[in-house]
Chain A
Amino acid sequence: MSTFTIPTLETERLILRAPCAGDMEHEYRFYASKASHFVGGPISAEQTWRTIASVIGHWMLRGFGLWALEEKATGTYQGRTGLWHPEGWPEREIGWTLMEHGQGKGYATEAALKAREYAYTKLGWKTAISLIDPANEGSINVAKRLSATPDGTFKHERFGHMHVWRHPGPEAA
């Protein structure tokens, strides 16, 4: 028997927890819309389901991954943020994807700060990047709020040309 556990974290306004089947309705709507075009969408519900399944599987393979963000005040799913390093990625990343209703509230920044702290203090990471589409202004603003700085470019087979943003290290963060 093999067991896998995804830790739960908490910030001022959010619970960071394991993704679950109940999040899927939000993800279907997000990935069916143009709002998903910076993260490989729009894609079908079936492809969305497989994408979220692989987000969960990433935890089981790497021991870290993306948390589901639940708004404490309402219990509503807001999106995903966390630590990401699938095959084909240049190095370990701090990533965030917010549903449309989760955007503009500072949730990506709030959750990414917590995820970065977890990476540095619990996992012993010495550095981290975020890969961002150069046209994704919202995401670039999050990177800036996290004090990340531009550090070159990366071309992914599927996601195309992306800018690398380097986070401050454990001492500076």
Chain B
Amino acid sequence: MTTIPHLKTERLTLRAPAPSDFGLYRDFYADAEGSGNYGGPLRSDQAYQKLCADLGHWHLQGFGKWIMERREDNQAIGGCGIVHPIGWPSHELTWWLMPEHRGHGYAAEASRAVIRFACQTLRWPNVETHMRDENAAARRLAEGLGGKVVRRETFPDGVTRDVFVLPEPEPESAP
């Protein structure tokens, strides 16, 4: 049995990926520019496989990616979570947003909830993330979360990246 908890923040619900999210994945990965930092663009059958794999990750690792749903209108706008693809040296906090929903602080808000979950429920001491040097938006977000670069590492894809450690955020008043 696989259990995926749901998390709530001020503006978002983080919930398990569902069959109805296929359209979101398909549209996100069809856009070469928006999905360029995420292995895109992908054909629709590949986007479906991605959705399947994101769910299966929970079963194999006990953690994974949630769908970010906006609470005011229940609209799914992206995803956030922790992944650790096998063969990679470390886990990674990751987030993605449909381009039209970027710039509202959703990724940071979801990330804080995910880091808190990792520290409090999974009992990890902290959470790591990494990004390509040219991904300035991701770097800003990691720094905004209080992240500090702890090492520079060459990953199995041959790309050398800064690795950030992200501390447990201050408690938030319950939403």
Which residues of A line the B interface, CB within 8 A? 1-5, 18-21, 24, 44-46, 49-58, 60-62, 86-88, 157-158
Contact = CB atoms under 8 A, between A and B. Distances in A.
Interface stretch (B44-52, B112-120, B127-135, B159-167): B44-52
Interface string B74-98: 0000000000011110000000000
Given A1-B5, A24-B86, A53-B57, A86 B15 contact: no
Interface residues on B, range: 20 to 34
30 contacts: A1-B6, A2-B15, A2-B18, A3-B2, A5-B1, A18-B59, A20-B60, A44-B87, A45-B86, A49-B60, A50-B49, A50-B53, A52-B56, A53-B52, A53-B55, A54-B50, A55-B52, A55-B56, A56-B59, A57-B51, A57-B54, A57-B59, A60-B2, A60-B59, A61-B18, A86-B45, A86-B48, A87-B22, A88-B45, A158-B45
Contact of A157 (B16, B19, B45): B45
A49 B6 contact: no
B156 interface: yes
Given A2-B4, A2-B15, A46 B86 contact: yes
A17 B45 CA distance: 26
A61 B86 contact: no
